Chain A
């Protein structure tokens, strides 16, 4: 290999330096937020003059923050369940189906990933306003499911492609009905894909802010919307604390995913 890492010589140092710079650029804002959430300055001064847990206490004492977090969790959970269910059915059609327009359907199902979110948000806002779904939990879940679908379909379809259909046929010859064979053999065999799909679609909803801003009503706000609107009214370190918790949960889910994948694969 021309670009073998071991043979780069002095370029190795340059490459390491550049990589560290990029990583720092991406991570520093997050690190700052987390540090500020423990800082004692009310005006988010940096470096913090002292350390405190006050902002976390304030956060947990305020029912509107708790309410927003619970709303986010509820919507993300329902989104994950719905997206995985649809993605499962869609994946069987996309991987096993032999029909005209299959590739077009695949492209269509994956568009939410490439379409500018704000375009989608405006379109669905106008549409849901007419249906009376704006500001409702159902509306939130439907909108987020559309956005989460590509992240659910990709891992499930990939897992299903890697699963030999002869194994399902073997289950059928053994006496399982086609549905039984899918439920008892195929689904457990692609469980890594299903699990990844659930986590990714949960996260797609959990930290989604653009559609959520359009969907939110004064009584129904997700955590990202609450952070965003608080930011506009007053700049308080409580926002940093809420943001830190958001990051912590996301990070936690990613770590759990990585660990489970490793465990399931061996």
Chain B
């Protein structure tokens, strides 16, 4: 195995009695776009700040190409960073903002000029070079901040929720820009966000944080289709959790009994479970169907509300145990029974698309 480009080793950060980051260990290969995703207070920003040097970890290490960064002060780490808030220098023009990191490095004027022009072209703001930051929109300011952070060719770029102050449409536009810039520059990016769509859209891999630990790290597909635990299953995408009883394990798959008494075979389980143990079965809303085919499991429900959304139907159903579940079957399949509010019927799901977690 090749040596990791950036390596986080058992990083721990405690604020008094509160531990914000618990022994996080992580390897990031060169050129990867890795996102730290998680609810606020999960330790994702603290980890990023430890890499930037704004917070000294309590223990652990951060290695860049095998060399520890911790003894190097922030300004000598040569790391690029884009912040959550607008951090352009208000008294300097766009061009001088981008030139600033090169000026403090005492690069010759010609090189500074060339590099600033390249960077402004990269973020497509060539015509804004002489403007002051106050004359730019929020999205433009963050693009200049990105150009400034990349001007000195840093080996890693840290981004701390850079789009959270922007509206949805602008956010999507700049996400596309960030993807393109990652592709064109090949820079290694560590990106922090609490927005799962943003994480899924941008990242090669996602590290999902929970209470200072990494709940799961993997591609978006890994997290969505193969969640390691109930937290991941609940955080990424929409999920329904059905109360079930675990009966036995058969050929590496679990057999469970639903609340309505029906038996479901061939369910994937994240952990080993005991016979008779109470468990929760996760089924994605789009894994439900209104018509059954051989091999699918069925569930007796009462329809609470149903609506047609073109490509999908959105149905709210109540199970025998009284839980409301979110059902989004594709709408093209023939629907013999109808799904009118108030009616009782069977809905179906593929056991292979369900996951079993301990209760």
What residues make up the interface of A, taking CB atoms closer than 8 Å to B? 164, 166-167, 169-178, 180-181, 184-185, 188-189, 191
CB pair A174 B145 closer than 8 Å: no
Whether B105 is near chain A, meaning CB under 8 Å from some CB there, is: yes
Contact A166 B152 (CB under 8 A): no
> How far apart sit A4 and B169, CA to CA, in the bound complex (Å)?
40
A160 CB to nearest B CB, Å: 14
Given contacts A175-B101, A178-B75, contact A169 B89 (CB under 8 A): no
Say yes or no: B145 contacts A191, CB within 8 Å: no
- The complex places the Cα of A170 from the Cα of B86 at a distance, in Å, of 10
Contacts of A191 in B (CB 8 A): 91
Residue of chain A at shortest CB distance from B85: A166
Q: How far is the CB of A187 from chain B (nearest CB, A)?
A: 10
B104 and A167: CB pair below 8 A?
no
For A174, A177, A188, which residue has the most chain B Cβ atoms within 10 angstroms? A174
What are some 9 contacts across the A-B interface (CB < 8 A)? Answer: A167-B89, A167-B90, A169-B74, A170-B81, A170-B148, A174-B100, A174-B148, A180-B75, A188-B91
Q: Which of A164, A173, A178, A185 contacts B81 (CB 8 A)?
A: A173
Chain B neighbourhood of A167, CB < 8 A: 87-90
- Where the two chains meet, the residues of B that have a C-beta atom closer than 8 Å to any C-beta of A are 52, 54, 73-81, 83-91, 100-101, 104-105, 145, 148-149, 152
Q: Nearest CB to that of A191 among chain B residues?
A: B91
A178 to B76, CA, bound (A): 11
Please give 15 more A-B residue pairs, beta carbons under 8 A apart, in addition to A166-B85, A169-B87, A173-B74: A167-B87, A170-B81, A170-B83, A173-B75, A173-B80, A174-B100, A174-B104, A174-B148, A175-B101, A178-B75, A181-B75, A184-B100, A184-B104, A185-B89, A189-B90
In the bound complex, residues from chain B placing their C-beta under 8 Å from that of A171 are: 89, 100
Q: How far apart are the CA atoms of A177 and B105 in the complex, in Å?
A: 11
Return chain B residues, CB-CB under 8 Å to A169: 54, 74, 83, 87
Residues of B within 8 A of A174 (CB): 75, 100-101, 104, 148-149, 152
CA distance A59 to B54 in the complex (A): 61
Q: Shortest CB–CB separation between residue A258 and chain B, in angstroms?
A: 20
A188 nearest CB neighbor, chain B only:
B91
Q: Please give the distance in Å from B134's CB to the nearest CB on chain A.
A: 9
With known contacts A173-B52, A173-B80, A189-B90, A164–B148 Cβ distance under 8 A: no
Contact residues in A for B90 (Cβ distance below 8 Å)? 167, 189
Q: How far is the CB of B260 from chain A (nearest CB, A)?
A: 55
Q: Which residues of B sit under 8 angstroms from A172, Cβ to Cβ?
A: 74-75
Query: Which residues of the other chain, B, contact A189 by a CB distance below 8 angstroms?
Result: 89-91
> What chain B residues lie within 8 Å of A185 (beta carbons)?
89
B80 neighbours in A (Cβ, 8 Å)? 173
Q: Which 8 A-B pairs have the closest CB atoms?
A: A170-B87, A174-B101, A173-B81, A188-B91, A175-B104, A167-B87, A176-B104, A172-B75
**In the complex the two chains form, what is the Cα distance from A13 to B7 in whole Å?**
75
| B151 nearest CB neighbor, chain A only | A174
Distance between A262 CB and nearest chain B CB, rounded to angstroms: 15
Q: Which residues of A contact B148 (CB under 8 A)?
A: 170, 174
Select which of B79, B85, B86 is within 8 A of A173 by beta carbon.
Answer: B79
- Pick from B73, B78, B145, B152: contact of A170, CB below 8 A: B145
A36 CB to nearest chain B CB (Å):
46
Distance of A167 Cα from B104 Cα, bound (Å) = 16
Shortest Cβ distance from residue A161 to the other chain B in the assembled complex, whole angstroms = 15
Minimal Cβ-Cβ distance residue in B for A265: B134
A69 to chain B, nearest CB (A): 35
A258 to B145, CA, bound (A): 32
Q: How far is the CA of A38 from the CA of B54 in the complex (A)?
A: 65
User: Which of chain A's residues have a CB closer than 8 A to the CB of B104?
Assistant: 174-176, 180, 184
Min distance, Cβ B65 to any Cβ of chain A, angstroms: 19
> For the complex, what is the distance from the CA of A229 to the CA of B105, rounded to whole Å?
59
Taking CB atoms, residues of chain A closer than 8 Å to B149 are: 173-174
CA distance A166 to B87 in the complex (A): 6
- Minimum Cβ distance to chain A for residue B193 (Å): 17
**Nearest chain-B residue to A170 (Cβ)?**
B87
Nearest B residue to A167 via CB reads B87
Q: List the A side residues contacting B83 at CB < 8 Å.
A: 166, 169-170
Give the nearest-CB partner of A264 in chain B. Answer: B91
A175 to chain B, nearest CB (A): 5
Shortest CB distance B158–A (Å)? 8
CB distance from A170 to the nearest CB of B (A): 4
A164–B87 CB distance below 8 A:
yes
- For residue B54, which residues in chain A have a CB less than 8 angstroms away from its CB? 169
Q: Hey, which chain A residues are within 8 Å of B84, CB to CB?
A: 166
| Minimum Cβ distance to chain B for residue A168 (Å) | 9
How far apart sit A171 and B86, CA to CA, in the bound complex (Å)?
A: 12
- In the complex, A189→B88 CA distance in Å? 11
Shortest distance between the CB of B55 and any CB in chain A (Å): 11
Bound-complex Cα distance A262 to B254 (A): 73
Please name the residue on chain B nearest to A169 by beta carbon.
B54
Contact of A164 among B52, B73, B76, B85 (CB under 8 A): B85
Instruction: Flag if B85 contacts A175 (CB, 8 Å).
Output: no
Could you tell me the distance between the alpha carbons of A98 and B244 in the complex, rounded to whole angstroms?
53
Q: Bound state CA distance, A176 and B74, in angstroms?
A: 9
Compute how far the CA of A188 lies from the CA of B74 in the bound complex, rounded to whole angstroms: 22
Cα–Cα, bound, A184→B104 (Å): 10
Smallest distance from the beta carbon of A183 to chain B beta carbons, Å? Answer: 11
When chains A and B are docked, how far (Å) is the Cα of A178 from the Cα of B149? 17
**CB of A52 to closest CB in B, whole Å:** 49
Which residues from chain B contact A173 at a C-beta distance below 8 Å? 52, 74-75, 77, 79-81, 149
